């Protein structure tokens, strides 16, 4: 477990690694955005907790990889604003509309910090577990080489249907309807 301090935001980030990071082969990785409710409190409103668990499971299976756990709660709007967004969602808004009603963009995350983090480990190429094309695009724009995308679909349940439909419909997430290897 490696800790990183980000001057700009004063946030502490964490990377969990397994296996030899110095090998030249592309690294199996999950870039996970903090979700206290899903990751730590077992909320079923989103798929974050299941995705985190599936990523750890996959890395353990493969024997080499890393989870970059970035403290970008609520797609970067913070926990208290996410709670406000949840109230708006309970009144009918989807996740994007709720963010916008609060004066934020749909996704306020930044990934610049990953550059020095990857450099610290000497990692040059990633095999990334994600369904989010905008995340891959954002990473490429800051010069991070994502050589492969691995579908990361898991955690669908009756409570997060609308949330996942909004990710697919408005945020462009690539859901093919399959679930993760751990559930197949
Ligand atoms: N603002 C807001 N953020 C949310 C909501 N539900 C989950 N999040 C945050 O969304 C982030 C996860 O982003 P997602 O869009 O679910 O997934 P992703 O990381 O972009 O894409 P994947 O790599 O495919 O998982 C976490 O920071 C969560 O806290 C919500 O209703 N509103
Ligand atoms: Zn979540």
CATH number of the domain that 66 lies in? 3.40.50.10990
> Which of 50-59, 104-113, 123-132, 169-178 shows the lowest per-residue confidence on average (mean pLDDT)?
169-178
Per the domain annotation, does 151 fall within a domain?
yes
Beta bridge partner(s), residue 27? 126
The verdict on residue 91 lying in a domain is no
- The answer to whether position 167 is within a domain reads yes
**Is the distance from CB of 112 to CB of 143 less than 8 angstroms?**
no
Structural domain for 114, as ranges: 2-72+109-172
Q: Tell whether ligand 1 has an atom less than 6 A from the beta carbon of residue 118.
A: no
Q: Which ligand is nearest to the CA of 129?
A: 1
pLDDT band at 177 (very low <50, low <70, confident <90, very high): low
Residue 184 above 80 pLDDT?
A: no
Per-residue model confidence as pLDDT tens digits over 65-103: 999 999 999 999 999 999 999 999 999 999 999 999 999
Total structural domains within the chain: 1
* Other beta carbons within 10 Å of 120: 12
Which residue has its alpha carbon closest to ligand 1 atom 30?
95
Instruction: Give a yes or no: residue 94 inside a domain.
Output: no
* ipTM higher than the 0.95 cut: yes
User: How wide is the angle at C-alpha 112 spanned by C-alphas 107 and 115, nearest 5°?
Assistant: 140
The residue whose C-alpha atom lies closest to atom 18 belonging to ligand 1 is: 132
Instruction: From the candidates 71, 109, 149, 156, give the one annotated as an active-site residue.
Output: 109
Tokens 């954002």 identify what position?
A: 138
- pLDDT for 142 beyond 80: yes
**Per-chain residues with Cβ under 5 A from ion ligand 2:** 35, 38, 46, 48
The length of the chain in residues reads: 184
Q: Judge whether 42 lies within some domain.
A: yes
Is-catalytic flag, 107? yes
List, as one string, the DSSP characters of 125-157.
EEEEE-S-HHHHHHHHHTT-EEEEEE-------
86 part of a folded domain: no
**Is residue 64 included in any domain, yes or no?**
yes
Do the domain assignments include residue 114?
Answer: yes
CB distance 29 to ligand 1 below 6 Å: no
Please tell me the pTM assigned to this model. Answer: 0.93
């Amino acid at each position: 477990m490696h800790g990183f301090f980000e001057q700009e935001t004063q946030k502490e980030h964490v990377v969990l690694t397994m296996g030899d990071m110095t090998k030249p082969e592309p690294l199996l990785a999950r870039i996970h955005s903090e979700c206290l409710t899903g990751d730590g409190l077992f909320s079923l409103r989103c798929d974050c907790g299941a995705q985190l668990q599936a990523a750890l499971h996959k890395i353990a299976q493969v024997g080499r990889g890393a989870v970059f756990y970035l403290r970008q709660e609520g797609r970067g709007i913070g926990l208290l604003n996410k709670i406000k967004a949840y109230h708006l969602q309970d009144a009918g808004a989807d996740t994007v509309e709720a963010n916008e009603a609060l004066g934020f963009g749909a996704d306020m995350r930044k990934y610049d910090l990953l550059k020095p983090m990857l450099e610290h480990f000497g990692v040059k190429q990633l095999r990334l577990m994600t369904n989010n094309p905008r995340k891959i695009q954002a990473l490429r724009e800051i010069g991070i080489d994502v050589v492969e995308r691995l579908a990361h679909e898991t955690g669908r349940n009756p409570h997060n249907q609308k949330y996942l439909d909004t990710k697919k419909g408005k945020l462009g997430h690539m859901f093919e309807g399959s679930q993760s290897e751990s559930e197949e």
